[in-house]
Structure 1
Amino acid sequence: MDKLEFPTPSNFCIYRVLPRLRKMNEAAYTPVSISIGPYHHGNKGLESMEEVKLWFLYKFLKRTQDKSVHDYVHLLKGQEGKIRQCYSETIPMESDEFVRMILTDACFIIEYFLLWHDENCWHSKLWFMWELTTTDLILLENQLPFFVLKDLFDLTFPDGYNELPFEFFTCDYLNRAFGSKIVPNEELQREFKFKCFVRHNLPTLHYGFPQVHHLCDLLRIFFVRRDDQRESSGKEMKPVYSVSKLYDAGIKFEVSEDEISLFKLKFSKGVLKIPKIIISDTTEATLRNVVAFEQYHFFFSRSMTDYIFLLGFLIITEKDVEILVEKGIIKNLMGENDAVASMIKRLGWNTSFTDFNEDYISLFEELNKFCDSYISTKQSSSNNTRALHGE
Structure 2
Amino acid sequence: MEEAQIDVAGLVTSLQCQLDTLWGNANKAENFTIFRTPHYISQSKKKLFEPSVISIGPFHRGQPHLQALEEQKRRFLRDLLSRGDNISLDLCISEMKLLETRTRRCYSEMLDDLNSHEFVEMMLLDGCFLLEYCLKSIDGNWNPILEIGWKSNFIKSDLVLQDNQIPFFIVDKLYELIFNQDHRMIFVKYIPYNLLPNDSVFPDIPTETPDTIDSIIADPPAEIPDSTNSTIHSKLDKIPDPPHEIHHLVHLCYHCLVSNPEEPLVLISTMFRANSLIHQFLSRVLKRRSPHSTSRSLSVPLPNSSRNISSMLIPSAMALKQMGVKFKPKNNPKHMLDISFEYGVIKIPTLKFHDTTKFIFANLIAFEHSKYGKEHSPFTSFVVFLDKPVNTAKDVTILQECGIIENWLGSEDELTQFINQATEGTTFSRNHYLAELYTEVNRYAESSWHRNRAKLIRDYFHSPWATISVVAAIILLVLTLVQSFFAVFAYFHLPNP
How many Å separate the matches in 1 of 2:318 and 2:336? 21
How many Å separate the matches in 1 of 2:361 and 2:247? 18
2:239 is the alignment partner of 1:219: no
Partner residue in 1 for 2:171: 149
Deviations 1:200-222 (A, max 9, x none): 6656xxxx642110001111112
Partner residue in 2 for 1:357: 432
Larger radius of gyration: 2
> What are the ranges of 5 or more consecutive residues in structure 1 without an aligned counterpart?
382-391
Change (3 A) 1:292 1:42: same
- Pairing partner for 1:316 from 373, 391, 400: 391
Partner residue in 1 for 2:57: 37
How many Å separate the matches in 2 of 1:273 and 1:191? 29
After alignment, is 91-100 or 208-217 more displaced?
208-217
Q: In structure 2, what residue type is equivalent to 1:263?
A: L
How many Å separate the matches in 2 of 1:143 and 1:351? 22
Partner residue in 2 for 1:109: 130
**Which of structures 1 and 2 has the larger relative contact order (alpha carbons within 8 angstroms, sep 6+)?**
1
How many Å separate the matches in 1 of 2:235 and 2:243? 10
Deviations 1:147-193 (A, max 9, x none): 11101110222143xxx21x433432421332435436466878999
2:324 is the alignment partner of 1:250: yes
Identity %: 28
- Point out 4+ residue stretches in structure 1 off by more than 4 angstroms: 186-203, 227-231, 375-378
* Number of equivalenced pairs: 368
Q: In structure 1, what residue type is equivalent to 2:175?
A: F
Partner residue in 2 for 1:158: 180
* C-alpha deviation, 1:283, in angstroms: 1.8
How many Å separate the matches in 1 of 2:334 and 2:59? 34
2:88 is the alignment partner of 1:100: no
Partner residue in 2 for 1:138: 160
Deviations 1:339-367 (A, max 9, x none): 11111110121113232424x11111111
Partner residue in 2 for 1:171: 189
After alignment, is 109-118 or 46-55 more displaced?
109-118
Partner residue in 1 for 2:404: 329
After alignment, is 28-37 or 65-74 more displaced?
65-74
- Check whether the contact 2:22–2:110 (CA below 8 A) recurs between aligned residues: no
For residue 314 of structure 1, give the secondary structure of its aligned residue in structure 2: coil
- Pairing partner for 1:295 from 362, 369, 379: 369
For residue 189 of structure 2, give the secondary structure of its aligned residue in structure 1: helix
How many Å separate the matches in 2 of 1:199 and 1:223? 14
- Check whether the contact 1:146–1:212 (CA below 8 A) recurs between aligned residues: yes
2:258 is the alignment partner of 1:183: no
After TM superposition, the structure 1 = structure 2 runs for residues 20-31 of structure 1, keeping only pairs within 5 Å, are: 20-31=40-51
Change (3 A) 1:295 1:54: same
* C-alpha deviation, 1:281, in angstroms: 1.8
CA RMSD across the alignment: 2.9
Deviations 1:315-341 (A, max 9, x none): 121111100101111001012112111
Partner residue in 2 for 1:384: none
Normalising to structure 2: TM-score of the pair? 0.68
Change (3 A) 1:377 1:76: closer
For residue 46 of structure 1, give the secondary structure of its aligned residue in structure 2: helix
- Check whether the contact 2:202–2:238 (CA below 8 A) recurs between aligned residues: no
How many Å separate the matches in 2 of 1:36 and 1:291? 20
* C-alpha deviation, 1:376, in angstroms: 8.9
Q: In structure 2, what residue type is equivalent to 1:278?
A: K
For residue 226 of structure 1, give the secondary structure of its aligned residue in structure 2: coil
Q: In structure 1, what residue type is equivalent to 2:411?
A: E
2:94 is the alignment partner of 1:56: no
For residue 332 of structure 2, give the secondary structure of its aligned residue in structure 1: coil
After alignment, is 222-231 or 348-357 more displaced?
222-231
2:33 is the alignment partner of 1:13: yes
For residue 107 of structure 2, give the secondary structure of its aligned residue in structure 1: coil
How many Å separate the matches in 2 of 1:306 and 1:144? 27
Q: In structure 1, what residue type is equivalent to 2:157?
A: T
For residue 247 of structure 1, give the secondary structure of its aligned residue in structure 2: helix
Q: In structure 2, what residue type is equivalent to 1:264?
A: D
Q: In structure 1, what residue type is equivalent to 2:72?
A: V
- Check whether the contact 2:324–2:344 (CA below 8 A) recurs between aligned residues: yes
After alignment, is 173-182 or 244-253 more displaced?
173-182
- Pairing partner for 2:341 from 249, 267, 273: 267
- Check whether the contact 1:116–1:173 (CA below 8 A) recurs between aligned residues: no
Deviations 1:29-74 (A, max 9, x none): 0000000011111111101111011000111112223232121111
> What are the ranges of 5 or more consecutive residues in structure 2 without an aligned counterpart?
1-16, 214-231, 266-303, 305-309, 456-497
After alignment, is 328-337 or 191-200 more displaced?
191-200
How many Å separate the matches in 2 of 1:320 and 1:37? 40
- Check whether the contact 2:131–2:175 (CA below 8 A) recurs between aligned residues: yes
Q: In structure 2, what residue type is equivalent to 1:350?
A: G
Q: In structure 1, what residue type is equivalent to 2:250?
A: C
Change (3 A) 1:98 1:260: same
* C-alpha deviation, 1:6, in angstroms: 3.2
- Check whether the contact 2:23–2:105 (CA below 8 A) recurs between aligned residues: no
Deviations 1:225-260 (A, max 9, x none): 3257669xxx97341122111111112221101204
